[in-house]
A and B are shown apart, each in its own frame.
Chain A
Amino acid sequence: MSRSWAFASNYLVYSAMAVYAISFLAHAIETAWAVKVPTDKSSTLDYKRTEKVARIATAMMILGFVLLFAGVIARGISAGRVPWGNMYEFSITGALAFSGAYLLALRKFDLRWLGLLVSVSVLLTIGTAVTVLYVPSAPLVPALKSEWLVIHVSTAIISGGVFLLSNVIAAAYLYLDRMESKGERTQWAKRLPDLESLDQLSYRLVAFVFPLWTFSVIAGAIWAESAWGRYWGWDPKETWAFITWVAYAAYLHARVTIGWRGRRAAWLCLFAGSTFLFNYIYVNIWGTGKHTYSGL
């Protein structure tokens, strides 16, 4: 029973990967095609030709999301618990949260230009998960058997997904800003939003998710109190969660109180996001301490 669920989960995750790959290709074609369309350099881009491909790209992204979602659920059923027990599971759920955050944001903002980066990141994350991080489905170690696992880990994963999305946008800001300061945007980059909107969007995502991250850290502290007898112990993972929190707090202060915008704010945002990534990758795999659940 549990073995067939585990098998189904793997099957679904691989299918999701294939579908994300199609989405990636469609996004790439869309981006490339738009450059070739104008015959005259001064003409504006005509997206009608790429519209169909763009729709395929988004549709594939949604299908990939659904398949990955099913894969994550099946993994959970096979192990008889929430599927957040090791790094393979964190990674596939993280990829799910990341593409989910993108799809949600897509409903509100015109973000399709970001699809290429999102699909590449998701592909790389799942790819690493299935090749390097994979461990067979198994029940949880006793320390993870707690209702806080659901609360703490899910909020951490969602926060991570949104932080990374905001980072990708900040990076896009810096790239386009550089392009503009050298001259004007290249043809394909003209279809991306103006700098002001990118700046705002990146900030809004952080402002939206910072309370959730705070909650995740506090939920972790409550859990640590019941599992390890202390709510804060400067375990490497805790330390880096704190550093990420401090970095984003500084970012919010810099924007709201001092009025940082644009380049400086984007760099600070990237710095804060990189502390999150460092925590996820370095501390999970090579770090010591109580949070070493990678299963590797």
Chain B
Amino acid sequence: MSQQTQIPELDSVGLLRYAWRQLTSMRTALILLLMVGVAAIPGSLFPQRTQNPLQVGQYFKDSPDVARWMDRFYLFDVYGSPWFSAIYILLFISLIGCVLPRTFEHFKAARALPPTTPKNLSRLEHHQSWSPKGDELELARKWFKAKHFRVLEVDGSISAEKGFTRETGNLFFHLALILILLGISFSSLFGMRGEAIVNVGERFVNTPTSYDTLNYGKLYKDSNIPAFMLTVDKFVAQYNLETSAPEDYTLDVSLLRDGSTTIEKKRIKVNSPMTIGTTRVYLQANGYAPVVTVRDSKGDVAFQGPVTFLPQDANLRSIGAIKVPDADPQIGFLGSFLPTYVRDGANGGASAFPKALNPRLLLSVWSGDLGLDSGIPQSVYRIDTTDMKQIGLKGLKPGESYVYEGGSITFEGYVQWVNLNFVADPGKHLALLGGIVAILGLLASLFTRRRRIWIRVGDEVEVAALAKNAAPGLELEIQGFVKMLKGEK
């Protein structure tokens, strides 16, 4: 550098002020805005823990080293990551720093009168002049009033201004964005979200232990969970006969609220959840649970009941595991449930339709150590067969039994299960309000025009106007104004 640049000496306050000014500058805000957009991209390219934990697990299984490095940069938790949070928090600080001073300024300006008419109107845009008839000022006054202009009248001239809504809308839009963020934060602090699989015919009692997964906000307590009980009475799924695509799911439940003795019959569908106080219950998924009875060699029942199987395809071929840890040696079954069985050479059978028209349970029987005491959590849908030996393979129709060495299993039938989501989202109304205000503000700021119109009556009538932000349409307005003044129609 040939020139010595003078850097002003900054004390800590000055430095802070400098940093604040940089942060709240429009340029920084724009860069931050674009950065939020760019930062959101990786979350759509890599699986996220909150949406797709299974696929994240697959990354770790396929290439653990790469996955560990990706995890270090929060690429599986993009939207909760420190760097994503940093960007949007900076953006919102910048936004507040930008909007608050402007709000005060706008508030002051909105109460102030428009500036006095400039001396030389002929230099301004849309300037016109003609010789007066005498009533121009009176006519102009009426016209401005009818159109809600704010006016200042000094010595035979009127200065009129309109279009404050533009800045008002703009400010409301940005304040509404803060409102949305508040709503989201409120939900993440005071909200709760839980999932539970419930078999048709069974009851769900709303306590923390009834859930398969349960997440609360930081300030949500166990005791906030509303007490209620519901029984899943009936679940009906309808499918397209040609494509197997689902057409309708209807779930009927009986609800018993806390302190009430009457049972309410309710219906839940995919787009119409059930509302219980602040909690909403959503129907999210469904599947089959084959009912089996496992007996030991003496004929005593070692296990009996429905076992939840997970659907694998559109025709609801479902897989699962039945574990009998009390048997000696331990017994495990890996199973496929096929609601409408058809022969399939490769897999020993497939399902041709999601409804249970010809149900079949395919089982492989394993004997040995289930590994349940190893301390490593196991999936309930799989069996760790490392210390086990396959001792049998069989396909069963409902009512049929299979006898293997050391016991037998009977396929009694099946029940359907539904996956219910329980959600309390107390900030959503705030966020929605923010959304509505944002749109209204946006409309106001994009479609109103701020402009000033002046008229002076002396030796001649002079009219001029100025549009801020180069908004169109002022020329037409001035033409109309002049015609009115001249008494033309």
Residues of chain A touching chain B, judged by Cβ–Cβ distance below 8 Å, are 136, 138-143, 145-146, 148, 207-208, 210-211, 214-215, 218, 221-223, 225-236, 239-240, 242-243, 246-247, 249-250, 253-254, 256-258, 275, 283, 287-289
Contact A229 to B271, CB < 8 A, known contacts A211-B439, A288-B52: no
List residues of chain A with CB within 8 A of the CB of B443.
211
Whether A210 lies near B442 (C-beta < 8 A) is yes
Residue of chain A at shortest CB distance from B441: A211
Whether A246 lies near B34 (C-beta < 8 A) is yes
Counting chain A CB atoms within 10 Å of each CB, which of B34, B269, B425, B431 scores highest?
Answer: B34
Selected contact of A229 from candidates B48, B284, B432, CB within 8 Å: B284
Measured CB to CB, the closest approach of chain B to A276, in angstroms, equals 12
Q: Which of B410-426 contact A (CB under 8 A)?
A: 421, 423, 425
Contact A146 to B271, CB < 8 A, known contacts A139-B240, A246-B37, A253-B33: yes
Measured CB to CB, the closest approach of chain B to A148, in angstroms, equals 8
Selected contact of A141 from candidates B29, B247, B442, CB within 8 Å: B247
Selected contact of A138 from candidates B29, B184, B240, CB within 8 Å: B240
Whether A141 lies near B446 (C-beta < 8 A) is no
List residues of chain B with CB within 8 A of the CB of A146.
271
The answer to whether the Cβ of B124 comes within 8 Å of any Cβ in the partner chain is: no
CB-defined interface of B433-452 with A at 8 Å, one 1/0 digit per residue? 00110110011001000000
The answer to whether the Cβ of B469 comes within 8 Å of any Cβ in the partner chain is: yes
> Could you say which of B12-20, B38-46, B226-234, B383-391 contacts chain A?
B38-46
Whether A230 lies near B425 (C-beta < 8 A) is yes
List residues of chain A with CB within 8 A of the CB of B270.
142-143, 145, 227
Contact A253 to B469, CB < 8 A, known contacts A145-B270, A246-B37, A289-B51: no
Selected contact of B33 from candidates A136, A148, A236, A250, CB within 8 Å: A250
Whether A231 lies near B428 (C-beta < 8 A) is yes
Whether B29 lies near A253 (C-beta < 8 A) is yes
**A interface majority secondary structure:** helix
CA distance A253 to B27 in the complex (A): 10
Whether B442 lies near A229 (C-beta < 8 A) is no
Counting chain A CB atoms within 10 Å of each CB, which of B246, B273, B435 scores highest?
Answer: B435
Contact A139 to B247, CB < 8 A, known contacts A210-B442, A226-B272, A228-B282: yes
CA distance A140 to B270 in the complex (A): 12
Contact A143 to B37, CB < 8 A, known contacts A214-B438, A256-B469: no
CA distance A202 to B443 in the complex (A): 18
Whether A218 lies near B34 (C-beta < 8 A) is no
Measured CB to CB, the closest approach of chain B to A163, in angstroms, equals 15
The answer to whether the Cβ of B402 comes within 8 Å of any Cβ in the partner chain is: no
Task: Supply 23 A–B pairs (Cβ within 8 Å), ascending by A.
Answer: A139-B245, A141-B245, A142-B270, A143-B270, A146-B271, A148-B271, A210-B442, A211-B443, A211-B446, A214-B439, A226-B271, A228-B282, A228-B284, A229-B193, A230-B423, A231-B432, A232-B184, A234-B50, A234-B79, A249-B33, A250-B30, A253-B29, A288-B47
Contact A247 to B446, CB < 8 A, known contacts A228-B282, A229-B423, A239-B44: no
List residues of chain B with CB within 8 A of the CB of A223.
271
CA distance A275 to B40 in the complex (A): 12
Whether B30 lies near A254 (C-beta < 8 A) is yes
Residue of chain B at shortest CB distance from A233: B51
CA distance A139 to B241 in the complex (A): 11
CA distance A211 to B444 in the complex (A): 10
CA distance A230 to B425 in the complex (A): 8
Whether A138 lies near B44 (C-beta < 8 A) is no
